[in-house]
Amino acid sequence: MAWVEFFLAHDVLLGGKPVAIEFLTQTVANPKVQARFNREALLSAALRQKSIHIVRAYDYGVSRSGKAYYVMEYLSGKSLKYLILITLPIFLTLIRQIVLGL
């Protein structure tokens, strides 16, 4: 299982637009791991074309230190861990958005 770290950054090429950057905490020296990560990034970009419920991917690659990264749109809001105790209508709205994304 690969662990990830997320960072908030500002993309200078997109006019300072906030973006989220996901880094794998392990290097991707294993070609299978790197191929799987690349496939995930490409699938995300392709699926985004078909649904507004999927985060937009801007870029992906491998840093000089060998860690894979993925740059995606930043969505502000609360983490789901803060919404555990929610009403049924809010729960159903969240589930609907998740299902539409899938």
pLDDT, position 1: 46
DSSP track, the chain: ---EEEEEEEEGGGTSEEEEEEEEEEE--SHHHHHHHHHHHHHHHHHHTT-TTSPPEEEEEE-TTSEEEEEEE---S--GGG-SS--HHHHHHHHHHHHHH-
17 is in which domain, residue-wise? Answer: 4-101
pLDDT, position 83: 67
pLDDT, position 51: 73
Q: What is the pLDDT of residues 19-40, one digit of tens each?
A: 888 887 666 667 787 788 778 7
Domains held by the chain: number: 1
pLDDT, position 28: 67
Task: State the chain's mean pLDDT as an integer.
Answer: 78
Q: What is the pLDDT of residues 2-23, one digit of tens each?
A: 477 888 888 888 788 888 888 8
Which domain CATH number covers 34?
Answer: 3.30.200.20
Higher pLDDT, 24 or 63: 63
Higher pLDDT, 55 or 26: 55
